[in-house]
Amino acid sequence: MNNILSRALPLDRSATFPAIGLGAASVLCLGIGALIAGGVLATLTAAVLFFFRDPHRRVPSGRDSIVSPADGTVVEIEEHPMPVIGAPSTRVAIFLSIFDVHVNRAPCSGVISEVHYQPGNHMDARVPASTMNESNLIVIRTGTKHVGVRQIAGRIARRVVCRVQPGQRVQRGQRIGVIKFGSRVEICVPADSELKVEIGDHVWGGRSILASLASE
């Protein structure tokens, strides 16, 4: 069933069971004449399909290019020590509204060196204090450098899904997880990287170039 749904619509697999369940319930209600309930359930089905959409992205080439790990708006850019690694880095924070695609992608090719889950709060993902929210940190080693991606739950988002593990090799633009409903994704790149975005820019996961790594 999951394969059938995936071929029909470009969806993240998280949509499979809620979409099928809500859709079936909607058809049942409409079939017995419960039009209002059926209409509400049909609307919820459409909302689930929209939220979990997973469109194909043409990933830019270029060995040193770092692409956005998520769709959304750049809300912060600051110097910050890279989590776990401790090296100087620049952190770019991206806010995802409920209208953005919530599938997360690898910003670069490399090997997953660290995955750390952090339980926490569920504050508004647009504010800096949301760094204390429930989150999942993924560190990718690319050559001799490290790039960190932190998936952060928001006020509405209550689940962060990570689909990679330490030792796994990933390719730039590869899907690495999803955050369910409004949320925030932060990426830390080495401090000597050349940034390609500014606060207020809207970016697309796997497609927009955020930075370029300094040549080794």
How far is Cα 123 from Cα 125, in angstroms, rounded to an integer?
Answer: 6
How far is Cα 163 from Cα 166, in angstroms, rounded to an integer?
Answer: 11
Structure tokens given for 182: 């409004």
How far is Cα 135 from Cα 184, in angstroms, rounded to an integer?
Answer: 9
How far is Cα 108 from Cα 118, in angstroms, rounded to an integer?
Answer: 23
Point out the catalytic residue in the list 14, 183, 193, 208: 183
Nearest C-alpha neighbor of 105 from the set 213, 208, 214, 216: 208
Report the 10 Å Cβ neighbour count for 79. Answer: 9
Element (H, E) at 26: helix 16-31
**Is-catalytic flag, 215?**
no
How far is Cα 69 from Cα 55, in angstroms, rounded to an integer?
Answer: 14
Report the 10 Å Cβ neighbour count for 45. Answer: 21
Active site (catalytic) residues = 183
